[in-house]
Amino acid sequence: MYNIEYLKEFFKDDLFAMKRLGAEIVEAHNDYAKCRVEITKEHFNAKGIIMGGAVFSLADFTFAVATNQNEDYNTVSTTASISYVRPATGKYLYAEAIKLRDGKTVCFYDIFIYNDSDTVVAKASISGTHVYK
């Protein structure tokens, strides 16, 4: 298992998530991750609502952090779905990736996205495939 400092260093090269989206890793251990994004004007759509793509990107990045903690393989997303529960609001959005099952070649996670008032704004389900090095 990689430690959080290694993961932060490794994912700094994920330029879309780290630079464009502004994602940061808050916590990561044992196939679990918590990440956040500080909301800026770049995250809003034309209607003045936080873009669904920003919410999904945070979920996908958090999945990547949770599932790429093993030194023997890399994990890539294979399927993903997201349900938007309510409009995202607040200064920060957080995402937590919770492992449902992890097998030899596939894994399944639920990712909960919530605001700084702990209100759930979306839930994603993502499965991944382990690619052995």
**Which pTM does this prediction carry?**
0.96
The answer to whether residue 12 scores a pLDDT higher than 90 is yes
The answer to whether residue 1 scores a pLDDT higher than 90 is no
- CA 109, CA 48: separation in Å to the nearest integer? 30
The answer to whether residue 133 scores a pLDDT higher than 90 is no
Segment 121-132 mean pLDDT: 97
Sign of CA dihedral 25, 117, 86, 52: negative
Q: Show me where the domains of the chain are located.
A: 4-132
Whole-angstrom CA distances from 18 to 24, 86, 117 are: 7, 25, 23
- CA 26, CA 62: separation in Å to the nearest integer? 10
- pLDDT, tens digit (0-9, with 9 covering 90-100), for 65-76: 999 999 999 999
Architecture of the domain defined by 4-132: Roll (3.10)
